[in-house]
Structures are given as C-alpha cells and as structure tokens.
Amino acid sequence: MPISWHCGEPRLAVAANPQLLIPNPSSNPMRWSQTLIPTMKETPEGAEIPSHVLMLRAGLVGQVMAGAYTYLPLGLRALRKAEAIVREEMDAAGAVELLMPALTPIGLWERTGRVEAFGDVLIQFAVRRANRKVQMALGPTHEEVVTDLVAKHIASYRQMPITLYQIQTKFRNEERPRFGVLRTSEFLMKDAYSFDTSVEALGRSYEKMYAAYCRIFDRCGLSCLPVEAESGPIGGDVSHEFMVPAENGEDMVVHCSACGYAANLERAEVGAQGDERPNVAPEPVRKVDTPGASTIEQVSRFLGCRPQDMIKTLIYAADGRALAVLIRGDHEANEAKIRRAAGVQKLALAEPAMIEHVTGAPVGFAGPVGLRVKIPVWADRAIQFMANAVTGANQADAHLTGVNLDRDFQVAGLADVRNACDGDPCPRCSSKLAMRHSIEVGHVFKLGTKYSEALAARFLDENEQLHPIIMGCYGIGINRILASLIETSYDQNGILWPVALAPYEVILVPVNVMEPQTREVAERTHDALAAAGIDVLLDDRDQRAGVKFKDADLVGFPLRVVIGERGLKQGKLEVKWRWEEKSQMIDLDGAVEQLAAMVREERATGSRFNARKKA
C-alpha cells in the first residue's frame, strides 16, 4: 500500500522487522552501494537553471513528466530536513499541526467564489459514486477546508487565538511547468491559518508567524528578504512575501539598500520625483501621419523620438466603465495601483469595441486630446514632467506631437500608477531603488473576514454578540527552500549544502575499498558516527578515488572524510568542509569524537557555511 510521504512521521509497523528499528531515524546510516544515487556527468537536456541541473545531476530528483519529479533518496532526505525545520518552528510559535485532505468537494470552492477566481489553476474532475457524479478539486490551498472546520468546532472567543497548520501536497495546474522543482503543478507546502477575535489579535498572530519565518529561512541557510506584497486573489489587505534574491528568480523585488525598503514589483511605490518639466518652449500641437505604426516602438522609430517622449494611453474597463490611464512610453502600467488610485474593484484592458467607442479610432491610436467620449483620465505622476509629448490622435494612422498637460488636456488625477524601475527614487528615503530577481519561498497574509463570512465561521464575544472570525494565512513552499538554496549556493563542482539541509552531513570516502585496513577503518568510523547521531554516508563503491571525490562534491555533502593508506600509516584522516579550500589532517585516534563535535558545532551555528557567503 503506498504511503504518502508528506504526512509527518512514518507510521509503518516497524516492530515486526528488527532491521527497521533505528533508534534515531534522522541519523539513518547508509552505504552508497545500498541506496540509489544516480549521479550524472552531463547537463541533462531541458535543464536551464543551476538548481534544476544540479538536482538532476546529483541524483536528488528524477523527472516523471514536465513539472512532476520523483524525490530520490538523497533529495527526499533534504526535503524532510527542510520540512522538519519548518515543523519545529511552527510548533515553537504555538501553531498546532493537523492534516487536511488534498481531495476537496467543489461546493466549498463555490461558496467563496474561488472556482472562478482560480480558473484553470484549480484541478477539478468528476468521479462516479454509485449512481451519481461527484465533482471534486485537488486543493491548491486550504482556506476553505480549514475555515469550514473551524466553523463547525469554534464558536466562542474563549477558543481563540488559535493557529492551525499542515504540511501537505498542493496542486495548481501550471500552464508552463519549468525550472525544475521551482514551478510545478504538485508541490509540498506548509500552510498555516490563524483565527482571532480582533484585528489587534490578528496583528499578534501575524507577527509570530513573521518571526518564525525569519528563523526558518535563517536556519535553512537562506538570505531572505521580507518584502511588502499585494495580496492577490487570496484577498485581504496586508501581506509580505519572503524572497530569496537569486539571478534566476522569476519575481522582481524592488529594494533600497540605503533604508531597507523592499516590496515586490506589483506593490513597490515610486518616490516623488524632484524633476521639473524640461525648460523648453512649448510647441503647437501637430498631427502627423503614422501609417501602420501603433506601438510605442513602431511610432518612436517612425517619428525618430524616444519612448520617454511619448504618452501611452490605455483604455480600461473599470467596474464596467471606460477609464483612460496615461503612462510615459518607457514605463509599465501597474493595475493594482490604478485600482487603488481610481477607487475601482474590477479592472481589465478594454475590449476593442469599447476602445473604438470612446476614441473614435481603431485600437492603437488612443490619446488624451480629443477623446470622442468624455471619460475620466488618470495620469501617472511622470506625465507632469513631460513637455511636447507624442500621443495617439484618436484617429487611424495618426499621432499628435507637441502635446502638453493642462494646455491640451486635463486629468482627473495624478497618481503613482506605474511599476517602479531601476534607479527610481525610494519612497522612504532620498536614495535610489534597485531591482533584484528573486524566488518567493514564503508568504504571509492578513486575510480578515473574507472566508469566515463566506463559510459562516462566527464566534460569540464576552457579551454574547456574534462576529465573523478574523483570519490570517501563512504559506511556505518546502521544495522551493531546496531549489532556492541551490540557486544561491553552488560552485563549478556542485551544490554547497548547509549542514541543516544536507542529505548527509558527513561523507566517508575510502580511497581503496579493497584494501583491508582502509575498509575496516571506514566501516568502524561509519558505525561510530551513526551511533553518535551524525548523518553519515559511506561511499563503499569500488571506484577510482577521483570519481568518488567528484560525486561527493557534486552532491555537496558538507564534511568529507578521506580514508587512505598513506594517511592511515601516519594514523591520520583527511577532513575537508565542502565550501572551504583547505583540508586538514586529524588523528585517527579520537577521530569520531572530533568529527561529531565539528558537525554538532556547525549544526548549532551554521557559521562556517555562512562565512562562505561572505568570502
């Protein structure tokens, strides 16, 4: 019977088989020849980024199909270690573990309107039960299930605060699975949910989770940046993402190194510009023919002007009504900011029919001067510093030049409605913003009452008054902890694991396993280290030492111990940390105690691993 690997402690009946009775399951000793570590010399086809390449090459994972991977023994050990750190810190923060099913009834999602909100991301299907069809969804997250649970069992203020969590496989249909385990349709997630009686109490629950997240990522050897974020389809008004800056990250983080301000691209504010309108004489408005040129790029090439001299006019359907937004040609509109500035709920680029109706022209020639229908016009703040701009003429194949704000058109408001760019002013200090590619490993949200209202999770207060429960939710992508660690910690030979996540802490490499004394010392050291609670792997393969050294570096075991005839003659073993240049010789006499002490110290502090980052 298959046992799901993500449901906490294994509950196999081990008593019947004495070989399975291992006193400390985390220090399960192992010989290379008895496990499955399919390392590869070549870069596997289709693997583009270091974490994907190295996880495949080091035999941590094997691909089953696009976006689906088997965790091989070494990969699973690393994953379990990340999981254990998350579990320890959740427990320490007072959260309580439970396990909800991946299979969920579609009715729960309908009650919160998320069948529509998730769209194709929600994996759903019908199964036949007796004579009826039952529609189900594989949980992409568990707000609905947990809120329904709480609605049934929590009714009084006395039962709160409480934070429930699980470590469970999630399913989100990924249209373009890529980058190895970074973007897959099935992934292991820790999701926690807090339930409180007041906004202040929610603030305290949120702070506890935030602090636990900082400890988790620190223990995992990740340099993590908590950033302000939009809350997205989950809802709510305050949220932070925990981002690991990495060259191959798909998310952009806007960061000010002077004051520490950090936000994701969607959320990042742009500081007020000190710019003034360039001191040039205003030109008259002129209409110019631009046959077939409708994009910023085409028009700038055609007229020989720079994108930053042009105004993009975007027509949106805002709560069903037309709205024009003006953005400098080289900037990108930010829909979350537009929604907030214009005070609208639903925002989408208008359909061609609406655009043609308000501009009187085909798509691509909209401009703020001479719109056929009077609609509200919002402008990004950068528009006020433009002089003699180029805009669409609200007429096919024509643009206007010499357009100036106030003289030629008016706006309903000026606001920050664009994405921040590299070098923009920081909103908190006088310094400049920088963009950094990052990987999101965690996210914390203040949800409020969205789910408790939809699913009738209410409580009675001290005065017997009924209120909706106030919720928060908190996620961590466990697989992403491994991938982002590797993305930020490797060299030309392979992975550099911190002791906290390494599949094994120590690798023993006997130079020649056929040599009796070498073999005997290797076996004895292996058994003694395992007995001392150290995770140790013995490379007992009858291979050239060079091959074994290469594999040890590729997988990246933190501490390598070489047992060779020459050293043994002097009563010595050679010891080297994976991320340090130099090896050292230690006395065979007392070697086990010394090695165990080295590992324990590094476990406790991670200081040698962290020193590598500064080097």
Catalog residues that contact Zn ion under the rule CB under 5 A: 256, 258-259, 261, 426, 428-429, 431
In angstroms, rounded to a whole number, what is the distance separating the alpha carbons of residues 565 and 545? 12
Long-range contacts of 568-574 (CB under 8 A, 24+ apart): 568/517, 568/518, 568/521, 573/521, 573/525
Q: Is 132 exposed, middle or buried (0-12, 13-18, 19+ CB in 10 A)?
A: exposed
Q: Which is nearer to Zn ion, 240 or 312 (CB)?
A: 240
* Rounded least distance, CB 242 to Zn ion, Å: 20
* Rounded least distance, CB 261 to Zn ion, Å: 5
β-pair type (389-392, 132-138): unpaired
β-pair type (186-196, 470-477): antiparallel
Q: Which is nearer to Zn ion, 215 or 428 (CB)?
A: 428
Q: Which is nearer to Zn ion, 127 or 259 (CB)?
A: 259
* Rounded least distance, CB 260 to Zn ion, Å: 7
DSSP SS3 for 62: strand
* Rounded least distance, CB 126 to Zn ion, Å: 53
* Rounded least distance, CB 270 to Zn ion, Å: 12
Q: How many C-beta atoms surround the C-beta of residue 518 within 10 A?
A: 18
DSSP SS3 for 34: helix
Q: Which is nearer to Zn ion, 270 or 324 (CB)?
A: 270
In angstroms, rounded to a whole number, what is the distance separating the alpha carbons of residues 557 and 554? 8
> Rounded to the nearest 5°, which phi and psi values hold at 338?
-65, -45
Q: Which is nearer to Zn ion, 199 or 258 (CB)?
A: 258
DSSP SS3 for 469: coil
Long-range contacts of 588-593 (CB under 8 A, 24+ apart): 588/521, 591/525, 591/561, 592/525, 592/528, 592/529, 592/532, 593/532
Q: Which is nearer to Zn ion, 254 or 371 (CB)?
A: 254
Which amino acid does the sequence have at 502? Answer: A
Token readout for 416 is 């920050």
Q: Which is nearer to Zn ion, 14 or 272 (CB)?
A: 272
Q: Which is nearer to Zn ion, 20 or 429 (CB)?
A: 429
Q: Which is nearer to Zn ion, 425 or 477 (CB)?
A: 425
Distances (CA, A) of 153 to 156, 159, 361, 378, 468: 9, 9, 59, 48, 14
Q: Which is nearer to Zn ion, 243 or 426 (CB)?
A: 426
**3-state secondary structure labels for all residues of 160-205:** CCEEEEEEEEEECCCCCCECHHHECCEEEEEEEEEEECCHHHHHHH
Q: Which is nearer to Zn ion, 412 or 434 (CB)?
A: 434
* Rounded least distance, CB 245 to Zn ion, Å: 17
In angstroms, rounded to a whole number, what is the distance separating the alpha carbons of residues 314 and 333? 9
Q: Is 146 exposed, middle or buried (0-12, 13-18, 19+ CB in 10 A)?
A: buried
**3-state secondary structure labels for all residues of 371-402:** CCCCCCEEEEHHHHHCCCEEEECCCCCEEEEE
Which amino acid does the sequence have at 60? Answer: L
Q: Which is nearer to Zn ion, 156 or 430 (CB)?
A: 430
* Rounded least distance, CB 262 to Zn ion, Å: 9
* Rounded least distance, CB 258 to Zn ion, Å: 5
Q: Which is nearer to Zn ion, 66 or 429 (CB)?
A: 429
* Rounded least distance, CB 425 to Zn ion, Å: 9
* Rounded least distance, CB 419 to Zn ion, Å: 17
* Rounded least distance, CB 438 to Zn ion, Å: 18
Cα of first residue to Cα of last residue in the chain, in angstroms, is 49
In angstroms, rounded to a whole number, what is the distance separating the alpha carbons of residues 37 and 34? 9
User: What 8-state DSSP symbol labels residue 44?
Assistant: P
Partners of 398 in the β-ladder: 289
User: What 8-state DSSP symbol labels residue 409?
Assistant: B
Distances (CA, A) of 256 to 239, 244, 265: 19, 15, 13
CA atoms within 13 A on the CB side of 231: 15
Q: Which is nearer to Zn ion, 257 or 517 (CB)?
A: 257
Q: Which is nearer to Zn ion, 12 or 258 (CB)?
A: 258
* Rounded least distance, CB 426 to Zn ion, Å: 3
Which amino acid does the sequence have at 17? Answer: N
* Rounded least distance, CB 432 to Zn ion, Å: 8
* Rounded least distance, CB 271 to Zn ion, Å: 8
* Rounded least distance, CB 329 to Zn ion, Å: 27
CA atoms within 13 A on the CB side of 426: 18
Describe the crossing of helices 73-92 and 478-487 by its angle, rounded to 10 degrees.
Answer: 110
* Rounded least distance, CB 332 to Zn ion, Å: 21
Token readout for 372 is 């056929």
Q: Which is nearer to Zn ion, 92 or 429 (CB)?
A: 429
Angle at CA 243, nearest 5°, toward 145 and 265? Answer: 95
Whether 427 contacts 271, CB under 8 Å: yes
